Amino acid sequence: MRALLLLPVVLFGARPAASVSLRPRPIVRGDSTVAAAADALAHGQPWRASRILAQVLSDSSRRTPDAVLLGARAAAAWNGWREVRDLLERESWLDALEDGAGRTLLARADLELGRDTVALADAQAAVAAAREGEHRARSLVLLARALDRLRADSAAADAYARAAVGLPAIAEWLVLRGATVRHDSGARARLYADLTQSAPRARIGWTEAAALERAGDSAAAATHYEQLGAVPASLALRAGLAHDSAASVLIRDTLVAYVAAHPGTSATRQVIQTLDGKYPQLPPEAELAVARALTSIGPLSRAGDGYTRAFAAGLGDAQDHLDAGDVLTRLGRYGDAARQYALVARPRPLAALAAYGRARALVRDGKLDAGRAALGRIGKRFSHDTTAAAAALYLLADLSADDRHDARARKQLRELARRYPTNRYAPTARFRAALIAYTAGQRRAAAAEFDTLARRYPRSDEAAGARYWAGRAWAGSGDTARARAAWRLLAAGDPQSYYVGASEQRLGLPTWTPAAAPDSFAAFPGLDSALARAAELEQVGMDVEAGWEYDAMARAADVSVERMLATAAALRARGRSVASIQLARRALAQGAIPDARVYRLLYPLARRDALLAETEERGLDPTLVAALIRQESMFDPRATSGAGARGLMQVMPDVGRAVAQTLGFPVWDPVLLYQADVNLQLGAAHLRELVGRYSEPVEILAAYNAGASRVEKWKTRTGAGDPELFAERIPFAETRDYVRIISRNQALYRVLYDWPVAAAGVSPGGGP
């Protein structure tokens, strides 16, 4: 492999076109478009920079080396590595301009795209072109990574060592990388002994296990991983060591036993991946174990396949058929789900749950008459089963409300609360029954029912809502004193509560505002140095090690409340908002003063300039968008939902592609959804469409979460013209909470930050 290093670079990707001079083209100064792109990039809007530059790069008279290099830097900042490659790979000036900065970018793009052999050549050229110390050292890291991937271990170790000299801030992480590719255990031990920083030292055991694995000592590596608690990695290696049939069967059974003993964990999911990779045809018993283990965590399609294979072999009990029905329901295969539920006849408690599951599947499959009939039979056949019978009544009431048969729905809800007072549905059933009375104009009856609910279930999720709506009902019946008393009691509660905000509005009080405090935090030198290391690691593409540094920062923060807050602020500044919010919550729970600086940590405002620019262009309230982002992603640009929504505003890839086409994006790559300014642009455009369709903020938010078709259906419910009633009568608990939380988030964002213009925003609104 060492001979690979001696091959001429031109063979690997420094490919000057014959018609292009090797001398860099003159740089055209004073191009205002290029200057605007540079400004956008400097302000954290790389995609905006790419769009601005598109017209320049498509014009041969303006496509200068500095414009191309700026375009590549912008694309790299939004992880558009294919765009970086397309911009740079045929340029002849890469090694002559800015110490070979273009060649370094191209090498990084090669690595990110898995073009390891080409990356090696480009990294070699980048090192040769770089004269400045840190720039050369960063190029050496790319060279080391390419050699590492190509298994040129000795050369990779040497490159990591040379890079460590030039990058002292992350030297110990580079030493660990170098140790991984050294086969001499004594040499590795000497490297470990020189480590002084806590985060790298914490990874020594993992590095040693990886080094043993790389050196081919899988048995020793498996033992190390097991000692570290990494059982899936240990089992995967042991599976690879099973070469004869007896050993293969033994390790297979060991893997299956682990799966059966640890269902529903991410570690088990990794073990199942090993099973599926080594044993494409598992015995039916193993398939059943796999299905059971994945039922709660997924992937659901694999769980469904496992159940199908096990059932075909005559395996599986009633619980398995019930679980299979649940899996198929979540996959949207309602007809198949109904058939699985129908197979559960006993024991009686499982049969009751299966009967409800089948009825629900029929409803979701559009077979409403059959579904209603099945729900009705549950109340007769399983009247003493508080779980299934109560759930059936609740769903029947929801269907009645959909049909605008509110009197029937109220009767069903009251029957549920009377017959099953200890069931988890009982408080919600009482609440929704009282709401129906309110919408029917029966204000005093509704008030009495809300008050009874609050007294009887003071710790339920519905208690605060019951007190608030009791206030509205008393106000509607003319008893303003009782109404205001109820709202005053709520207004003194948790300032983050939706009903606190709604009560403030009813009382004419200003939104609760924390005590003013500047965003100043104590200095901790160890924190500053850790941040510098993480930033340097990210710059050279060592994101895993950067993540370990951030995790170590969060763990080290526990020594004091002030360190928690300082660390939270530092993580917020680095875009690690989820960890920042978690630390701020811990600090508040441990006695931090609940002032404005703490609440700005709890309710961050990242990418402020981009958010303001986008909302101004779309005519949106910036406080609404900030509140929505806080709920959708906690301002984490890397957030990904289980359904596949991505980025700050949780845009689905197909939605993003469609909106990008309407906006005339010059290129499309789903990775753009993880770029904050792109996600803001696409999400804001989608939100603007909903704003144009609906007049009420609660409807806009419900449509953003659950889809416009559902909102159209919910708008037909009685009382939907009152925004608060519309929100309360949303049948999906997730969407109902979503609307309420964002409404309160918005009120807090308004008072926590200075905004350039007054925001209209979401308000509970509604009538008396």
End-to-end CA gap in the chain: 80
Residue of 143, 122, 134 whose CA lies nearest to 170: 134
Element at 87 (helix H, strand E): helix 81-88
Residues 182 and 649: their CA atoms lie apart, in Å, by 44
* DSSP character at residue 509: P
Residue of 754, 600, 669 whose CA lies nearest to 81: 669
Residue of 436, 416, 435, 411 whose CA lies nearest to 426: 416
Residues 294 and 301: their CA atoms lie apart, in Å, by 9
Distance of CA 536 to the CA centre of its chain: 24
User: What is the set of active-site residues?
Assistant: 632
Residues 396 and 380: their CA atoms lie apart, in Å, by 14
Contacts of 399 (CB under 8 A, 6+ apart): 363, 368, 371, 372, 375
Q: Residue 560: what are its φ and ψ, rounded to 5°?
A: -160, 160
CA quadruple 372, 376, 382, 384: dihedral, nearest 10: 120
Residues 534 and 523: their CA atoms lie apart, in Å, by 18
* DSSP character at residue 417: H
The residue assigned the tokens 């008279």 is 61
Residues 168 and 432: their CA atoms lie apart, in Å, by 63
Residues 634 and 423: their CA atoms lie apart, in Å, by 33
Q: Residue 646: what are its φ and ψ, rounded to 5°?
A: -130, 150
Q: Residue 595: what are its φ and ψ, rounded to 5°?
A: -95, -175
Contacts of 158 (CB under 8 A, 6+ apart): none
Residue of 688, 541, 535, 614 whose CA lies nearest to 48: 614
Tell which phi-psi region holds residue 644, choosing left (phi > 0), alpha (psi between -120 and 50) or beta: left
Residues 33 and 162: their CA atoms lie apart, in Å, by 40
640 pairs with which residues across the strands? Answer: 646
Residues 256 and 272: their CA atoms lie apart, in Å, by 8
Does residue 420 contact residue 390 with C-beta atoms inside 8 Å?
yes
The residue assigned the tokens 């606190």 is 500
Q: How many CB atoms lie within 10 A of CB 98?
A: 18
Residues 387 and 348: their CA atoms lie apart, in Å, by 12
Query: What does the angle CA 80 – CA 86 – CA 91 come to, to the nearest 5 degrees?
Result: 130
Q: Say if residue 16 is preceded by a cis peptide, omega within 30 of 0.
A: no
Task: Output the six-digit token pair for 523.
Answer: 């200095």
Residues 456 and 174: their CA atoms lie apart, in Å, by 62
Amino acid (one-letter) located at 581: I
Residues 525 and 532: their CA atoms lie apart, in Å, by 11
Tell which phi-psi region holds residue 636, choosing left (phi > 0), alpha (psi between -120 and 50) or beta: beta
